[in-house]
């Protein structure tokens, strides 16, 4: 359970209770004196963040129960990105809904006053009428979106964060620093049934004890503002964090964090019996070493050894980051998205990586500046490029900043050319797309164009984007190679499997257009999967699913073997972050054995270092050869021709005889 909240009089408590699966949650409340538990919602949806209004009349919560589907612009799928709203529950049937109408036809809101004790001025006792409670749930009159951080404030109102609908990769907005990606802080006046905006864009906020003020975190700055109206220079108090002094006793902090980590693992590990591990004994065995820890990195190393005793994947530790230095020590190396080589003429652009226009992260800044292969880089920000060390020392700390580059031709003819670019801080997306395009070209060449090629780098947002980037074109080929080598895992293997298990039942023919299969985007022929020892986590899962569903043979090496996954991260008191293996995968055919073992391929194949050095693609050769063999025995689905279309003309009739002469 989570999202615990008490009523203003302290007599009731409410929370969000887990339901079926990982997403369904139910709002419950309980009367503390007799422990009576009441279901506020029935568990059909994802209900969370329940709070009592400060006047004690209402319970409010957030719920993902909107079902207005939005069409996918690429594949025709439908999804529900606008499914969340705040909801309100009058706790007594005698309390009118502020969104209803009075018999006179006016909104009920406007005459609702907080219920307060006449003598103390404090909220009175909360009255809960159980009968019909769930039927009184009503949505706030606000736009469906993504909401979080619902809190009651003074005067019976509520505040919340409304988030813009954005993509999982952050490419929705014009640039990564676009402030529209941050949430908006809104206030809802219940008695007036009116919403207003308090802060346009912020990072986070919290509410003061009396509900009259909010402390807002905005790009590292702190300020206190009114909770019910837009703040101004008179009502806003800026908080100078430089005045905050924080004295820490690191050894005491590490002792506390060690015990905290032990409790978190004990309470969240997927098996209540800890798979037979004497966890208290493990903690006792390593506890003396806590006294010898002298740095955050040493403490993280110790916790890695402790969590290693679980013998389970996804048990990670990240050290607390301290003393990283001022910002100018934390700047990124600038990268040009190109391969440069040293020649007699200087440092020559051997090849500008082509990238992919559908991936905004995969574009070389040199391509955008109009530089071509063969150009010689002579200066960076006016400083000459050293003939030995090259341009990279001059690009140190230049990532995501503007630099000026000077180029000339290899022959030295013609004037020099100066361009201003913004170097990349990470060229891996660019090099990845180049790698995929080369694998695709190899597949086309070795199969004579009969095999499509899909590489799935992970099973998260970027992997789903990559899969859908190419699925329509590659599935149109007679056979398909599905490459999950190096797959970093995630949680969407089910979505990919749903696509791969589609079956062609028929075809849709349109004049002067390519035939479309029904179901659409379905494999036309055999599938062969590629996996290796770096196919991990949900990559293990998708490899197992491909084998168990008999979608096609798996070629390569046994997978990583880590299917006891984590859900979220836990930050300890000293800042160290740990993960806990919280959910384990079990298969009918394998039981629990995929963990620590992996999924074995149907055909073992290994690309040796010598193969790599000599340009041989051993695994791909084997996979493509197998796919072509399967094609010969299992021809692909093909659309019909117009040869046997139905004849819808009138049937041929014999000529009518001439009439008899009179």
CA 354 to chain CA centroid, Å, is 27
Q: What is the DSSP string of 141-173?
A: SS--BEEEEEEE-GGG-EEEEEEPP--TTS-SS
Direct distance between the N- and C-terminal alpha carbons of the chain, in angstroms, rounded to an integer = 101
Reduced to 3 states (helix: H, G, I; strand: E, B; else coil), residue 124 is coil
Cα distances from 437 to residues 434, 470, 519, 521, in angstroms, run: 5, 11, 27, 21
How far apart CA 167 and CA 146 sit, in angstroms, is 13
Catalytically annotated residue among 17, 151, 189, 314: 314
- Could you tell me where the DSSP H helices lie in 269-393? 279-290, 296-308, 365-368
The reply to whether omega before 519 is within 30° of 0 (cis) is yes
- Could you tell me where the DSSP H helices lie in 411-569? 428-447, 461-474, 493-500, 538-548
Backbone angle region of 438, left / alpha / beta, with phi > 0 → left and psi within -120 to 50 → alpha: alpha
Catalytic residue at 595? yes
Catalytically annotated residue among 46, 48, 595, 619: 595
Catalytic residue at 537? yes
Catalytic residue at 314? yes
Cα distances from 292 to residues 279, 289, 307, in angstroms, run: 21, 5, 18
Which residues have CB under 8 Å from 171's CB, separation 6+? 360, 361
Catalytically annotated residue among 16, 63, 97, 537: 537
How far apart CA 552 and CA 603 sit, in angstroms, is 11
* CB distance 558 to 603 below 8 Å: no
Question: Nearest-5° angle of CA 224, CA 230, CA 232?
Answer: 65
How far apart CA 468 and CA 481 sit, in angstroms, is 15
Q: Which of 189, 192, 167, 191 is nearest to 180 (CA)?
A: 167
Residues acting as catalytic residues: 314, 537, 595
């Amino acid at each position: 359970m989570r999202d615990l909240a008490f009523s203003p009089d302290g007599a009731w408590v409410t929370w969000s209770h887990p339901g079926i699966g990982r997403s369904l949650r139910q709002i419950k409340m309980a009367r503390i004196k007799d422990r009576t538990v009441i279901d506020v919602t029935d568990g059909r949806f994802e209900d969370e963040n329940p709070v009592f209004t400060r006047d004690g009349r209402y319970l409010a919560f957030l719920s993902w129960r909107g079902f207005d589907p939005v069409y996918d612009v690429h594949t025709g799928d439908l999804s529900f990105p606008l499914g969340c709203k705040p909801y309100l529950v009058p706790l007594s049937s005698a309390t009118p809904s502020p969104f209803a109408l009075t018999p006179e036809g006016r909104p009920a809101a406007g005459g609702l006053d907080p219920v307060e004790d006449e003598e103390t001025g404090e909220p009175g006792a909360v009255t809960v009428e159980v009968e019909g409670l769930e039927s009184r749930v009503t949505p706030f009159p606000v736009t469906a979106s993504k909401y979080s951080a619902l809190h009651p404030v003074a005067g019976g109102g509520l505040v919340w964060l409304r988030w813009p609908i954005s993509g999982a990769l952050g490419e929705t907005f014009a640039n990564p620093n676009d402030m529209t990606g941050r949430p908006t802080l809104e206030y809802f006046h219940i008695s007036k049934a009116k919403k207003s905006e308090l802060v346009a864009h912020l990072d986070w906020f919290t509410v003061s004890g009396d509900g009259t003020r909010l402390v807002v975190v905005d790009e590292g700055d702190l300020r206190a503002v009114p909770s019910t109206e837009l703040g101004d220079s008179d009502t806003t108090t800026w908080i100078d964090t430089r005045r905050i002094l924080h004295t820490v006793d690191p050894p005491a902090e590490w002792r506390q964090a060690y015990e905290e980590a032990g409790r978190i693992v004990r309470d969240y590990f997927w098996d209540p019996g800890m798979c037979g591990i004497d966890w208290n004994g493990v903690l006792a065995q390593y506890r003396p070493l806590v006294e010898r820890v002298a740095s955050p990195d040493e403490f993280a190393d110790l916790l890695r050894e402790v969590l290693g005793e679980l013998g389970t994947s996804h048990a990670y530790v990240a050290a607390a980051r301290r003393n990283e230095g001022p910002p100018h020590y934390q700047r990124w190396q600038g990268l040009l998205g190109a391969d440069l080589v040293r020649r007699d003429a200087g440092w020559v652009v051997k090849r500008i990586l082509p990238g992919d226009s559908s991936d905004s992260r995969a574009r070389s800044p040199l391509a955008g500046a109009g530089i071509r292969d063969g150009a010689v880089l002579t200066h960076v920000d006016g400083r000459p490029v050293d003939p030995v060390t090259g341009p990279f020392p001059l690009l140190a700390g230049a990532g995501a900043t503007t630099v000026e580059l000077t180029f000339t031709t290899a022959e030295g003819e013609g004037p020099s050319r100066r361009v201003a670019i913004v170097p990349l801080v990470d060229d891996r997306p660019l090099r990845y797309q180049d790698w995929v395009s080369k694998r695709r070209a190899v597949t086309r060449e070795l199969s004579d164009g009969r095999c499509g090629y899909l590489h799935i780098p992970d099973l998260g947002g970027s992997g789903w984007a990559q899969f859908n980037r190419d699925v329509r074109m590659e599935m149109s080929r007679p056979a398909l190679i599905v490459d999950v080598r190096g797959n970093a895992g995630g949680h969407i293997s089910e979505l990919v499997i749903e696509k791969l298990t589609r079956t062609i039942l028929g075809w849709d023919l349109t004049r002067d257009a390519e035939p479309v299969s029904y179901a659409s985007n379905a494999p036309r022929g055999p599938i062969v999967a590629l996996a290796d020892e770096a196919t991990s986590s949900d990559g293990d899962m998708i490899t197992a699913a491909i084998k168990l569903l008999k979608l096609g043979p798996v070629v390569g090496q046994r997978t990583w073997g880590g299917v006891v996954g984590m859900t979220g991260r836990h930050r300890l008191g000293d800042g160290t972050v740990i993960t806990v293996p919280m959910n384990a995968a079990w298969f009918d055919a394998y039981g629990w054995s995929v963990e620590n073992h992996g999924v074995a391929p149907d055909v073992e194949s290994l690309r040796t270092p010598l193969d790599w050095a000599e340009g041989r693609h051993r695994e791909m050769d084997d996979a493509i050869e197998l796919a072509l063999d399967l094609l010969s025995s299992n021809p692909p689905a093909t659309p019909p021709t117009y040869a046997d279309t139905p004849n819808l003309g009138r049937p041929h009739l014999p000529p009518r005889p001439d009439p008899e002469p009179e």
